């Protein structure tokens, strides 16, 4: 050691300068690669997860498919929200009129406007006096009103959107032929756009002959008059104010 200097100081200083330059070059190289990838994706030339490049026609087709699927998802979500909204109104009215109001078991985890259906439903579904298969079908009806503390059905509601209206009618007819006495009232709840379809289905001779007639209610009518029905109604007969017959 000369004049107290460290023997490896020159080497360490050179290595440090070399490593600093190398880090800069590595960073620049990585940055170029990242920028290139971002450019390719931004220009929609690269399909993520695939190294193949898309032609302009393929790119346009991909964009249209993505837009179509996004619209389908939005429509499905909107329909689901509408379905939940109508169930909420029916639960609210049924409770206000003093009935035990239930939604289908597969809908009890849903909510609307911060109101959980599981809390709006009584704890236990009434025992239905029919075979198990028919009972399971009846339970799938969107909303059922029972006379409080009993298994006597007062009203049944099927909320139909884009699904087959006939499937809802079949569940109501199952209820009619199994446990109904003829004093109940059944309803289809539908958007205005499906009113013609409902009238056509309810006009079928096979449907008109069931002992419990099926009426229908429009979404807009139920939404508009829900609070008034809750406030001024004293029985299920108040629903006649907004229901239509065929």
What does the pLDDT profile of the chain (246 residues) look like in tens digits? 444 444 545 555 555 566 666 667 677 778 777 777 665 555 554 444 454 566 778 777 777 777 766 655 654 566 678 999 999 999 999 999 999 999 999 999 999 999 999 999 998 999 988 888 888 989 999 999 999 999 999 999 999 876 678 888 988 988 888 887 878 999 999 999 999 999 999 999 888 888 788 999 999 999 999 999 999 999 999 999 999 999
And the tokens for 176? 């009619």
pTM greater than 0.85: no
Does residue 21 belong to any structural domain of this protein? yes
Q: What's residue 2's pLDDT?
A: 43
Q: How many domains does the chain have?
A: 2
Name the nearest CA neighbour of 189 among 72, 74, 93.
93
Does residue 218 belong to any structural domain of this protein? yes
Burial 47-64, CB ≥16 within 10 A → b, else e: eeeeeeeeeeeeeeeeee
Cα(173)–Cα(197) distance, integer angstroms:
18
Report how far apart, in Å, the C-alpha atoms of 16 and of each of 9, 11, 13, 89 are: 10, 9, 5, 74
Runs of H (alpha helix) within 43-131: 56-96, 117-120
Residues forming a β-bridge with 112: 115
Q: What's residue 74's pLDDT?
A: 56
Give every CB contact of residue 97 below 8 A, 6+ residues apart in sequence.
145, 230, 233, 234, 235, 236, 238
Q: What's residue 30's pLDDT?
A: 83
Q: Are residues 24 and 107 in the same domain?
A: no
Does residue 61 belong to any structural domain of this protein? no
Which residues constitute the domain of residue 38? Answer: 9-54
Does residue 63 belong to any structural domain of this protein? no
């Amino acid at each position: 050691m000369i004049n107290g200097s460290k023997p490896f100081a020159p080497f360490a200083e050179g290595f440090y300068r070399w490593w600093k330059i190398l880090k800069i070059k590595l960073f620049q190289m990585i940055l170029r690669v990242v920028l290139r990838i971002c450019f390719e994706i931004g220009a929609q030339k690269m399909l993520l997860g695939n190294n193949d490049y898309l032609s302009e026609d393929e790119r346009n087709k991909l964009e249209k498919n993505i837009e179509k699927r996004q619209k389908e998802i939005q429509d499905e979500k909107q329909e689901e929200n509408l379905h939940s909204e109508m169930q909420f109104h029916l639960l609210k009215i049924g409770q206000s009129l003093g009935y035990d109001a239930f939604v289908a078991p597969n809908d009890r985890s849903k909510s609307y406007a911060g109101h959980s259906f599981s809390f709006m439903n009584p704890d236990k579904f009434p025992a239905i006096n029919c075979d198990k298969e028919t009972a399971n079908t009846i339970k799938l009806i969107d909303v059922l009103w029972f006379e409080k503390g009993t298994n006597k059905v007062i009203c049944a509601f099927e909320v139909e959107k884009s699904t087959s209206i006939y499937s809802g009618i079949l569940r109501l007819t199952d209820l009619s032929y199994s446990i109904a006495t003829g004093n109940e009232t059944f309803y289809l709840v539908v958007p205005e756009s499906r009113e013609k379809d409902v009238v056509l289905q309810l006009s079928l001779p096979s449907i008109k002959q069931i002992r419990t007639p099926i009426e229908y209610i429009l979404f807009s009518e139920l939404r508009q008059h829900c609070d008034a029905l809750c406030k001024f109604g004293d029985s299920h007969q108040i629903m006649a104010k907004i229901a239509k017959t065929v």
